[in-house]
Chains A and B, each alone.
Chain A
Amino acid sequence: MSGPAHGFDETMISGYLDGELTQGDTQRVRLHLEGCDGCRRLADDLRKLSDATMATDFRTPSDTQWDETPRTSASRLFHTSSWILGMIWVIGLVGFVVYQIATDGESTRFDGLIPLGLVATFGLAVLSALIDRVQTRKTDPYRKVKK
């Protein structure tokens, strides 16, 4: 169908379907399609493909996602880390309490880890919020507007 023997530049079919050809080329393609079954089938198939593709809808996250201040990678990392650390801390705290009850409160080996975990968790969360604040200040178009 394509190539020198065929004598027709098949890529023009796409340009024709998309309305991107000059008048002369459009006319040339139209005449060719009238006399060439293979190219006409190709054009019909491509038209069908394009129509179905254009009519597709994709599921997107809820609109509220875009209302939030866009987060930078660093902010997201700290935010996620603080949540993970927080969960580990809660599990550790529960384990520690159970351990204390089981051993009658004799051991103090893990005492230091409890406040440390709490500080680290809140520290990461604050850091994440701080990065967001700085980012917002940089990108906020109203930052120069006096309240």
Chain B
Amino acid sequence: MSEHLPSPDADLVASARAGDRDAREALGRKVGRSAYVFALQLTRDREAAGDVAQDSVLKFFKNLDRFDVTRPVEPWLYQITRNRVRDLARRQQHRRHQSLEDWIDQGRPDRAESAASAAADAERADLQRRIWRSVSLLSDDHREIFVLRDFHGLSYREIADVLSIPPGTVMSRLHSARTNLRSLLSEHLDTDQETPPATAQEPHQERKQP
């Protein structure tokens, strides 16, 4: 299992704690966006995600003085956000959910430099829509572990911390989530297409920057 990576936000968090207003605002925007997207992925409800994100940011700043700046911000933030989502789910058990594909941002026309790349972009956008529609159908446990790894890029150790589960459980639950998702998508994944054989990846160094 990988160890925690040095936090890229350590300076920002330290400055915010020291009373730098600009750092505090920048950190607020960053954690606000991250908490919102994660809350949206869990709740599948834009209004609820906004409420949860605001509460999470509030709690985040309230406890910022106690936070270990050498650790990455995201696992702690996602833990706060997840707890808020669970509180909300207990209070509002019959809330109506929408599909996550409705909130994907696909406005990236500058990427397409040729007809071929435009077609590739369209194909990828279509796959992303199908993926997020299927992610919406996963169980809560599978959806949260899948997005924490494959969207937010947390390590297995960090995921274990966020979900309060043993590190050994992360790999099996994540694999189960991925294979369920693959089953839901099986007709859309072109497995006959020529792809390079799968190789082991370096652990994700970059975190999602919404």
Q: Which residues of A are in contact with B by a Cβ distance under 8 Å?
A: 10-21, 26, 29-30, 33, 40-50, 52-61, 63, 65-67, 70-73, 76, 135, 138-139, 141-142, 145
Question: For the complex, what is the distance from the CA of A58 to the CA of B101, rounded to whole Å?
Answer: 9
- Closest residue of chain A to B189 (Cβ to Cβ) is A45
Specify which chain A residues have a CB less than 8 angstroms from the CB of B210 in the assembled complex. Answer: 57-58, 60
Question: For the complex, what is the distance from the CA of A67 to the CA of B176, rounded to whole Å?
Answer: 39
Known: A19-B200, A49-B181. 4 other contacts (CB 8 A): A17-B200, A18-B201, A59-B104, A70-B54
Residue pair A20, B182 in contact (C-beta under 8 Å): no
13 A/B residue pairs, CB under 8 Å, sorted by A: A10-B179, A16-B198, A18-B203, A19-B202, A33-B197, A44-B191, A45-B191, A54-B150, A60-B210, A61-B50, A65-B50, A66-B32, A138-B62
**Given A45-B182, A60-B210, A67-B29: A33 and B198 interface contact (C-beta under 8 Å):** yes
Residue pair A73, B51 in contact (C-beta under 8 Å): yes
Q: Which residues of B are in contact with A by a Cβ distance under 8 Å?
A: 1-2, 16-17, 19, 21, 24-25, 28-29, 31-33, 36-37, 40-41, 50-51, 54-55, 57-58, 61-62, 64-65, 103-106, 108, 124, 127-128, 131-132, 135, 146-147, 149-151, 153, 155-156, 171-172, 174-176, 178-179, 181-182, 185, 189, 191, 195, 197-204, 208, 210
- Closest residue of chain B to A60 (Cβ to Cβ) is B33
Question: For the complex, what is the distance from the CA of A57 to the CA of B36, rounded to whole Å?
Answer: 13
Question: For the complex, what is the distance from the CA of A14 to the CA of B171, rounded to whole Å?
Answer: 7
Taking chain B's interface residues, is the majority helix, strand, or loop, or is none over half, making it mixed?
A: helix
Residue pair B151, A56 in contact (C-beta under 8 Å): yes
Specify which chain B residues have a CB less than 8 angstroms from the CB of A29 in the assembled complex. Answer: 200
Specify which chain A residues have a CB less than 8 angstroms from the CB of B105 in the assembled complex. Answer: 57-59
Residue pair B24, A135 in contact (C-beta under 8 Å): no
- Closest residue of chain B to A10 (Cβ to Cβ) is B175
Residue pair A139, B103 in contact (C-beta under 8 Å): no
9 smallest beta-carbon distances between A and B, as pairs:
A66-B32, A43-B198, A70-B58, A14-B175, A11-B175, A57-B105, A53-B150, A19-B203, A70-B54
Q: Smallest distance from the beta carbon of A120 to chain B beta carbons, Å?
A: 24
Question: For the complex, what is the distance from the CA of A48 to the CA of B192, rounded to whole Å?
Answer: 13
Question: For the complex, what is the distance from the CA of A72 to the CA of B58, rounded to whole Å?
Answer: 8
Specify which chain A residues have a CB less than 8 angstroms from the CB of B201 in the assembled complex. Answer: 17-19
Question: For the complex, what is the distance from the CA of A134 to the CA of B5, rounded to whole Å?
Answer: 37
Specify which chain A residues have a CB less than 8 angstroms from the CB of B203 in the assembled complex. Answer: 18-20
Residue pair B25, A52 in contact (C-beta under 8 Å): no
Question: For the complex, what is the distance from the CA of A68 to the CA of B111, rounded to whole Å?
Answer: 33
Query: Among the listed A44, A53, A60, A145, which residue makes an inter-chain contact with B197, where contact means beta carbons less than 8 Å apart?
Result: A44
Max chain B C-beta neighbours (<10 A), residue from A40, A50, A53, A142: A53
Specify which chain B residues have a CB less than 8 angstroms from the CB of A40 in the assembled complex. Answer: 197-198
Specify which chain B residues have a CB less than 8 angstroms from the CB of A66 in the assembled complex. Answer: 28-29, 31-33, 57
Specify which chain A residues have a CB less than 8 angstroms from the CB of B127 in the assembled complex. Answer: 48, 52
